[in-house]
């Protein structure tokens, strides 16, 4: 009888230790793999809305089309570090040029982005594309340095990005080392995770 109680007590203790270990491991693993960021602004509309909560995957490589959050090393009005959520258009070693969209009427020109000499079909811009491209102007082709990336917001009429800022010539780039993570899911902050949506790469 005593041995049976001792065995049950040992099983209880072992179970408790295993469960506690799983909880602790899950906590640290989730912090290592994922984090959440609240979005303030419309620069990625309509893909991501102002007030959305994004879930970022913090590991792995990045590629063209990924939506990422990164540190700009600039400060906001409260003196806090400013983070951007933008889409990667080109990576280190890629050539980028803004020029006329194929078939564009020269009397009413529309401009788009060319990466490595190929026109970038940005289907994710939806109906916003025509109005956004009309605001762009031709830019001389340049090569993105290794370790950097060229980025744009999907809301081209309301986005501070590599087309509009100035650092390298008329272009400012992000550093891959400053990326916090890739957006893999989102949900409206006011409605909660019941409205969660996955964000596929390149969409």
Active site members: 43, 86
Q: Specify the residue for token string 């594309």.
A: 129
> Of all helices (H) and strands (E), which one includes residue 6?
helix 2-33
Neighbours of 95 (CB within 10 A): 15
Note whether 155 and 135 are within 8 A (CB). no
**CA 156 from centre of chain:** 15
Burial of 149 (C-beta count, 10 Å sphere; 0-12/13-18/19+): buried
């Amino acid at each position: 009888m005593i041995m049976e109680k001792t065995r049950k007590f040992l099983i209880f203790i072992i179970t408790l230790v295993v469960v506690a270990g799983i909880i602790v491991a899950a906590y640290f693993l989730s912090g290592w793999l994922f984090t959440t960021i609240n979005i303030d602004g419309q620069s990625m509309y309509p893909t991501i809305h102002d007030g959305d909560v994004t879930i970022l995957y913090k590991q792995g490589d990045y590629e063209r089309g990924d939506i990422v959050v990164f540190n700009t090393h600039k400060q906001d009005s409260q003196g806090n570090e400013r983070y951007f959520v933008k889409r990667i258009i080109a990576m280190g070693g890629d050539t980028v040029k803004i020029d006329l969209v194929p078939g564009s009427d020269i009397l009413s020109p529309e401009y788009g982005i060319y990466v490595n000499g190929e026109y970038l079909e940005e289907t994710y811009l939806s109906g916003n594309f025509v109005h956004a491209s009309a605001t762009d102007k031709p830019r001389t082709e340049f090569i993105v340095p290794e370790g950097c990336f060229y980025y744009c917001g999907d809301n081209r009429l309301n986005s501070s990005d590599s087309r509009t800022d100035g650092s390298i010539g008329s272009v400012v780039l992000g550093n891959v080392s400053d990326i916090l993570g890739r957006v893999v899911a989102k949900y409206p902050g006011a409605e909660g995770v019941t409205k969660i949506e996955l964000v596929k790469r390149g969409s």
